[in-house]
Amino acid sequence: MKLFLTQTSPYARKVRLAAEQLGLTGGLELIGATTTPIADDTALVAINPLGKIPALVLDDGVLLFDSPVIVEYLDHLSGGGLLPPASDPERWQTLRLQAVADGILDAALLMRYEVALRPDRFLWREWLDGQGRKVQRALATLEADILRLKEGAALNGIVVACALGYLDFRFEELDWRTRCPGLAKFFDDYSARPEMVWTAPRAE
C-alpha cells in the first residue's frame, strides 16, 4: 500500500502510529508530497481530487482518505476492534475523543496557514484568536477526561499524542502544559515510545 504524506502532517503521523500499533508498518510504502492550500502537489492531486494528505492507495488501486477512514481500514485489516473498540459505548466515546483531538488539529492548522501563508497586511487577528479559543477549550475537555485517555482504547493515546505533538511543533508559545498538567504527564510518557520518536514532525 502507498501512503502519501508529509513529515509535518499530524494526520499522517496518526496513520503511521496506528499502523505501528497494528503491526502493519512493513506493508506501507511512504511517498512524500508537497502540498499547501495554495499549491497543489501534482502527483497527489492525480489520485486525490481534494489534494489532501494522508492518502492511502490500496494494492488494488482503491484510494482512501482522510486519516479517520484510513485508521478504520487498517484496523479492519487486523481483524477490527483493536483501535476503535468494536462494542458500545466505548467505541463511540473513543471516536468522540478522536473528533476532539482532530478538532485541535483543524484549528491549529488554520492558525498555521493564517500566519505562514497569508500576507502580513491581510492577517486576521480575530480569526487567529477564535481558532486559539477552540484549541484551549478542546484541551480543557481532554484534561477533564484524562482517566479515559490513560485507560481507554489504543486509539485514544494515538490521536491525542498527535495533537499535542503538533502544538509543540508549531505553537510552543501556547504553553499548554501549564494549564493541562495531566495531559503534559501523559504526553511526556507517551513520547518515550520508539514510534513517537521516529514519526516526530520535522521541518521540510
Residue linked to cell 477512514: 69
Tell me what the mean pLDDT of segment 159-179 comes to.
Answer: 95
pLDDT at 31 over 80: yes
When pLDDT is averaged across residues 31-56 and rounded to a whole number, the result is 90
Does residue 203 surpass a pLDDT of 90?
no
The pLDDT value recorded for residue 159 is 96
Residue 164 has pLDDT above 70, yes or no: yes
Measured at the CA of 61, the angle between CA 56 and CA 64, to 5 degrees, comes to 30
Write down the H helix ranges in 1-153: 10-22, 42-45, 67-77, 90-116, 125-144, 146-151
pLDDT surpassing 90 at residue 74: yes
Per-residue pLDDT band for 137 (boundaries 50, 70, 90) equals very high
Of 9-18, 37-46, 93-102, 166-175, the range with the lowest mean pLDDT is 37-46
Domains and CATH numbers, the chain: 2-77 (3.40.30.10), 90-193 (1.20.1050.10)
- pTM across the whole model: 0.93
How much is the mean pLDDT over the chain? 93
Residue 152 banded pLDDT, cuts 50, 70, 90:
confident
Looking at residues 5-27, what average pLDDT do you find? 95
pLDDT of residue 82: 85
Instruction: State yes or no: pLDDT of 197 exceeds 90.
Output: yes
For 164, how many CA atoms within 13 A lie in the half-sphere containing its CB?
26
The pLDDT value recorded for residue 204 is 62
